[in-house]
Structure formats: structure tokens, C-alpha cells
Amino acid sequence: MYKSQHYTCSASLVLFNNPPQMVMEALKSIPSSVQITIVDNSPQPDLGRIIVGSADLRYHHTGSNLGYGKGHNLGVALSPPAEYHLILNPDISCHPDTVDRLVTFIAQHPAIGLVGPRLIYPDGTPQYLNRRHPTVSDIVMRRFPAPLLTHKMRQRIHKHEMQDIGYDTTCDVDCISGAFMLCRRAAFEQIGGFDERYFMYFEDVDLCCALRKSGWRTVYYPDAVVTHHWKRASAKQLRLTFVHIQSMLYFFNKWGWKWR
């Protein structure tokens, strides 16, 4: 029996054949005060048999791969009433007090629709995942092998990743990484959630664009920290490269083609 109480913060986690140990590490790092809804897109509900048993956990097996955005939209719809909602990747580990810090911060700033934490690798080095609004050149250059990048190209990538501003200061950011987002649920629902026409990739960029177009701020808050076991799968798998390209084409068709 699920709890029916009102939560300050809910969360959704979308899975597809993820290693059980990874999923368990992510779940254990989220405070028990957060009610988590798992949307499992895996062919079989094996993960459900491993992670069931918590009163603060809802599990929904879809039986088909809905995609990232559609999966999270379902997770929000299945979640109990809450003022704020976490969008989670299964490859994260939340540091102590991270959720409390994010919730406190967004509650103090009613104009913020979405806030993202500092994301780091397991060895503690930073991940440069904040983004300015992308151009075609920005996306293409980030796919180049490092030895082929010229000095100007590196400078352009650093600017796109907001390394010129740095990652130690709270600031408004055009695009927050979908690996870990805290949304104001009213803002998320106002724009209709994720655009489900993206199967994977660019849906987080699109969400931030939609929020900002509707007058909400999207903000980076470095005092909250999350370890992200990030692997650029689309750079290693040909099928995911095609998915990435498809999403990129849809994004620029929707928001306008800016080449440089």
C-alpha cells in the first residue's frame, strides 16, 4: 500500500536494463523523505523484484522502451502531490544534504523553475555539463577527437560549456543536465513536461528552453553536489549516434537553426 501523504519533494527514475548495483546505489543516496517513482522500460521486470519493499518507492514496469522524456513524464504523473520533483539518472550518487540544499534554495527563489547541482566524476573532478544555448557548430565540434581540435575550437567548446564563467558560482544557465534536475512541479506541468518526441538526447535542453520561454529561470547551484558515473554512450555506439543526430535535427527544427 502506497503512502497517500503530501510530499515536499518527489522523484522519478527511468530504467532500461541497468545494473542492479547501480540502481541500488542511486536509490540509497536519495533521502527517505523523497517519494521515488521508478519507471522501468526494461523488457522484463527483473529490477522490480530486486528493489521492491520500500514504502517510499513506487515501481511501474512499462514492458517497452518509452524513452527518457516520456518515461519521466509518466513518473511525474504517477508520483504523489509534491511542490518539487527530482529528475534522476540511475548512474548518480547523491551527496548528503544535496536534496535539502536544492529544495531550500529553490523555495527561496520563486522565479526559479529548475535548478541543477554541481556534477562530479567519482574521482572528484568536475563535469562541465552546464551549457549555453547550442548552435550547430557547438554540437559538431564536441564530436571531434581531441587531437583534431584547434585552439579556437577548444575555446568555443569551453565557452559553450560555460567554463569561462566557471563552476564555483551560482548562476543562470541556459541548459541544465538531465542527469539530476530539481523542478518546480507547477513549472514542469505548465509547459507540459518533456517533449515526448525526443526518444533520448536533447530533451533536457528542450525542457530548459521551454521553461525559460515561459518566464522561468534555470539555475546552477554548486553548493549541492552529485557524483555522476557518466559515460558518453552515443560516442561509442553507432545506433545511439543516430538517435543523437535525430534528436539534434528535431531540436534545431523546433528552436531554430543557429550555425555559429
Position 233 scores a pLDDT of: 52
Question: Into how many domains does the chain fold?
Answer: 1
For the stretch 53-89, pLDDT in tens is: 555 789 999 989 999 999 999 999 999 999 999 999 9
Position 236 scores a pLDDT of: 55
Residue at 84 is within a domain: yes
Position 2 scores a pLDDT of: 39
Position 160 scores a pLDDT of: 95
Residue at 256 is within a domain: no
Domain that holds residue 26: 7-133+166-232
DSSP symbols for 156-218:
HHHHHTTTTT-SSS-EE-SB--TTEEEEEHHHHHHTTSS-TT-SSSSHHHHHHHHHHHTT-EE
Residue at 89 is within a domain: yes
Position 52 scores a pLDDT of: 64
pTM of the model: 0.92
Domain with residue 29: its CATH number is 3.90.550.10
Residue at 150 is within a domain: no
Q: Give me the residues of the chain with pLDDT under 70, please.
A: 1-6, 52-55, 232-236
According to DSSP, residue 143 is labeled: T
